Amino acid sequence: AQKVTQAQTEISVVEKEDVTLDCVYETRDTTYYLFWYKQPPSGELVFLIRRNSFDEQNEISGRYSWNFQKSTSSFNFTITASQVVDSAVYFCALSEATGGGSQGNLIFGKGTKLSVKP
Amino acid sequence: KAGVTQTPRYLIKTRGQQVTLSCSPISGHRSVSWYQQTPGQGLQFLFEYFSETQRNKGNFPGRFSGRQFSNSRSEMNVSTLELGDSALYLCASTLGGRNTEAFFGQGTRLTVV
């Protein structure tokens, strides 16, 4: 069965620290898509990144980077030099090809609440 | 361009009543999905509509239903409300393909008393 596990419920760091949010997934599909979303207090989910199962290249976008490892079924997210504005709940999600592979049918982890203190 | 609009933002209903939530997707988006977010269960997929047809459905009872109109606007309905239906209901819209980004609305906070 498909599942996404975010073992860290809450993380608190001081501004400028680096922080890594863990995500482990389970799927029987060979084709699938992984996502990270950010949910600020306003409630809407903000898309951060999408990765398909055939693309294990790590990605860096500014202070954000993602490490996708199929061997360990992990898709971890690192924020470098964290800022107070990074405080939010972060969700990892999975979409399977058999479910259409679209972002319309996402299986979410329980989320990690990140608090960045000044 | 305008984002995903969900109305109303907040709603209080009594057990046994029914409720209808509305979602207007981004112009040009043909897929609308609904999710329920609760502290205990997290974010759970309800259903997805594409071009007025339900394309996927999550594991929710039949009290939860939805529909999509020709202009891609979507509504979800919950009948015979239970206390456990209290949640944030999020709507997401996409163009509809596999590699298209989903944009979420701010949600409707439903409280059942």
What does each of the 118 residues of chain A score in pLDDT, given as a tens digit?
789 999 999 999 999 999 999 999 999 888 888 999 999 988 889 999 888 888 888 888 899 999 999 999 999 999 999 999 999 999 999 988 665 555 567 899 999 999 999 9
Looking at residues B42-57, what average pLDDT do you find? Answer: 91
- Angle in degrees, CA A101, A103, A106, rounded to 5: 90
Inform me whether the pLDDT recorded for B88 exceeds 90: yes
- Is residue B74 very low, low, confident or very high in pLDDT (cuts 50, 70, 90)? very high
Selection from A93, A114, A101, A95 nearest residue A45 by Cα: A93
pLDDT at A104: 63
Q: Among residues of chain B, what percentage have pLDDT more than 70?
A: 96
A78 CA: distance to closest CA in chain B (Å) = 21
The answer to whether residues A21 and A76 touch, using CB atoms and an 8 Å cutoff, is yes
Q: Which of A91, A97, A105 sits opposite B43 (nearest CB)?
A: A91
Note whether B92 contacts A: Cβ–Cβ < 8 A. Answer: yes
Report CB contact under 8 Å: A101, B98: yes
Q: Does the CB of A64 have a partner CB in chain B at under 8 Å?
A: no
pLDDT at B47 over 80: yes
How much is the pLDDT for A51? 87
State residue B66's pLDDT score. Answer: 97
Which phi and psi angles does A25 have, rounded to 5°? -125, 160
Q: What is the per-residue pLDDT for B2?
A: 73
- Written in H, E and C, the secondary structure of chain B is CCCCEEECCEEEECCCCCEEEEEECCCCCCEEEEEEEECCCEEEEEEEEECCEEEEECCCCCCEEEEECCCCCEEEEECCCCHHHCEEEEEEEECCCCCCCCEECCCEEEEEC
Return phi, psi of residue A10, to 5°. Answer: -140, 140
The predicted pLDDT at position B75 comes to 98
Amino acid at B33: S
| Residue A83 in tokens | 């800022």
pLDDT the model gives residue A3: 93
